[in-house]
Amino acid sequence: MKRLLFFALLLTLALSACSNDLMISERILTEEESILIKNSGGEWADHFEIIGQIPKGYELYFAIEQYENGEFIQNNLPPNPVNLDTKDRAVSFAVITDSEKGKVLFGHPSGVTTQEMKTLRGGSSSAKTFEGKIPVETDEPVYLAYWYTGSGNMLKGSDGDLDDIKSRELSYLFKAELKKK
């Protein structure tokens, strides 16, 4: 009986060592963090935290996909793997449209990557695509947040539905993806 329990425990440990516990969680800011970010002009960002470790032989990439009228245009930021060797495991996504040319911002442990973007005159909407935590699986994109706009003043549709968001006149989707090296 002791042998059976020992082998069952050994099997459980072996299987848990092989599992992927990598998750992304929405990050709820403290009041102090919110004030600091607002005072520095970043109040429109969606914040996330990476939980767990990247499995050996894999890399975690973040990219921002651009769609126009349902057609994939490009990944706006070159997908670079995120280095999780630091204590800072926060990432963020924001779109700023306070000028003729807008900006897409991607905050990561190494700093902020900014890229100019096309904008349209009209209404816009943005939000996180999930609440709580979401697992990151190999070669399956995890959409974290979105922003979309149209040339009219009214935006009709269902926020959160990825196909609807991609079909807009102009949309950006922030995603994470775990890939083999």
Domain residue ranges of the chain, discontinuous segments joined by +: 20-180
Which alpha helices (DSSP H) does 19-156 contain, by range?
A: 31-39
The CA-CA-CA angle for residues 111, 87, 147, to 5°, reads 45
Q: What is the pLDDT of residues 19-55, one digit of tens each?
A: 468 999 998 888 888 787 777 766 678 889 999 988 9
The beta strand positions in the chain, using DSSP E, are 23-26, 46-51, 58-68, 71-75, 80-81, 90-96, 102-108, 111-117, 124-128, 133-135, 142-149, 170-180
**Separation CA 23–CA 44 (nearest Å):** 23
Q: What is the pLDDT of residues 54-95, one digit of tens each?
A: 899 998 888 889 999 999 998 866 556 776 666 778 888 888
3-class secondary-structure state, position 93: strand
Per-residue pLDDT, averaged over 157-180, amounts to: 85
pLDDT higher at 56 or 153? 56
pLDDT at 71: 94
Q: Which residues contact 52 (CB under 8 A, 6 or more apart)?
A: 20, 21, 22, 23
pLDDT higher at 5 or 139? 139
Q: What is the pLDDT of residues 106-132, one digit of tens each?
A: 888 777 888 888 777 777 888 889 999
Q: Tell me: pLDDT of 6 over 50.
A: no
